[in-house]
Amino acid sequence: MRTKLTRRTLAACLLALSTPWALAAWPSDDRPVKILVPWPAGGATDQIGRMLAQPLSQALGVPVVVENKGGAGGVIGTQQFVKEKADGHTILLATSSTNAAAPHLYAKLGYHPIEDFTPVVSLCEIPNVMVVPAKSPWNSLRDIVSAAKKDPGKYTYGSAGIGGSQHLAGAQFKTAAGVDVRHVPYKGSGPAAQDLIAGHIDMMIDTGSLGSIRGGLLRPLAVASDKRLPALPNVPTFKEAGTPMIASAWYGLMLPAGAPAEVVARLNTEINKILKNPEMHAKLTGMGAIVMGGTAQEFAAFTASEVKRYEGIVRDSGAPKE
């Protein structure tokens, strides 16, 4: 039986062919959605990505996998991400390091922190915590400051890489405390934390150490926030410990530039639902995070303001431009 092709039917067909959604529904049933984490496994960014993967998979009805691509303080993985298709199947777990600090730390970054991304949603913020190995002789922040002033250049602090939140927090600490401690960059928080636990470095101002703290492997001495963390109620702030400073890292999801508005809206809706889930909220706050969420427009405005703010933070930290 033949169907008569009316003008209205023809017009509808032409409109459908001109619409990306008619060509490929999102998410595609035969393709997983990938969360690209530009850091090695084990750090706070990786932990957050893996927390999101399962509930997001359930919400979208397709597999959601985490791919780690570490190196250069998150820059290498982010450089790879901006080359991906803006079809919603690759999501970046962006951080303050990759999308706010890096532009002021690298002369040849390889991507524009605003123009090469489509902001989707803000996830959370985690204040940095000064931690030392469990066997360290230091029991307070004042102990570190006293030792570092006695022996300038002797002690070391680790970070996830140049330009990461740990690096900048360490640089802030050096300035605030007036001490000389040496920076040892790694290719992610996980490797740095392992060396810290083993005693190969002396300290770290980290965002993902609560598991090791609770396991008795690391000792927290101060939190770099304006008030104590509910997860560490007995740990003083840097101000209370005698060296006022505030340092934290933020995390959010982004798509490549030019991503369809429908994909952004769907992801934003599903992630906000996930963040409000009591179990997910408890997991994030349990690692010291302040849960955020909100609209894509709010996240876009926030990231733009952070790029400007970090210009001053990097300049004041004295971190060299690579």
User: Does the structure show a pLDDT above 70 at 84?
Assistant: yes
With pLDDT > 70 as the criterion, what percentage of the chain qualifies? 91
The token pair at 145 is 């400051």
Residue 153 to residue 148: CA distance in whole angstroms? 7
Question: Which residues are within 8 A (CB) of 61 and not within 5 positions of it... i.e. 6 or more apart?
Answer: 27, 29
Domains 26-123+250-317 and 129-248 share a fold: yes
User: Does the structure show a pLDDT above 70 at 17?
Assistant: no
Beta bridge partners of residue 64, listed in sequence order: 33
Q: In terms of Cα–Cα distance, which of 306, 293, 286, 295 is closest to 213?
A: 286
26-123+250-317 folds as D-Maltodextrin-Binding Protein; domain 2 (3.40.190)
Higher pLDDT, 71 or 25: 71
The per-residue b/e assignment along 165-189, b for 16 or more CB within 10 angstroms, e otherwise, is bbbbbbbbbbebbebebebbbbbbb
Higher pLDDT, 43 or 60: 60
Average the pLDDT over each of 26-30, 73-77, 92-96, 304-308 and give the range with the smallest value. 26-30
What pLDDT is attached to residue 9? 42
The token pair at 255 is 């798509």
What pLDDT is attached to residue 233? 93
User: Does the structure show a pLDDT above 60 at 23?
Assistant: no
| Domain 129-248 sits in CATH 3.40.50.1400 | no
Mean pLDDT of the chain: 89
What pLDDT is attached to residue 19? 42
What pLDDT is attached to residue 188? 80
Q: Are 87 and 26 in contact (CB under 8 A)?
A: yes
What pLDDT is attached to residue 189? 82
Domain boundaries, the chain: 26-123+250-317, 129-248
What pLDDT is attached to residue 40? 87
Across the range 151-180, mean pLDDT stands at 91
- Residue 266: exposure state from Cβ atoms within 10 A (0-12, 13-18, ≥19): middle
What pLDDT is attached to residue 320? 64
pLDDT digits (tens, 9 = 90+) for 218-247: 999 999 998 998 889 999 999 999 999 989
**H runs (alpha helix) in 86-217:** 96, 141-150, 165-177, 189-198, 210-214
Beta bridge partners of residue 68, listed in sequence order: 37
Q: Place 20 in a pLDDT band, splitting at 50, 70 and 90.
A: very low
User: Does the structure show a pLDDT above 50 at 184?
Assistant: yes
pLDDT digits (tens, 9 = 90+) for 247-295: 998 999 999 999 999 999 999 999 999 999 999 999 999 888 989 999 9
pLDDT digits (tens, 9 = 90+) for 1-10: 444 444 544 4
pLDDT digits (tens, 9 = 90+) for 116-147: 999 999 999 999 999 999 999 999 999 999 99
Residue 308 to residue 240: CA distance in whole angstroms? 29
User: Does the structure show a pLDDT above 60 at 308?
Assistant: yes
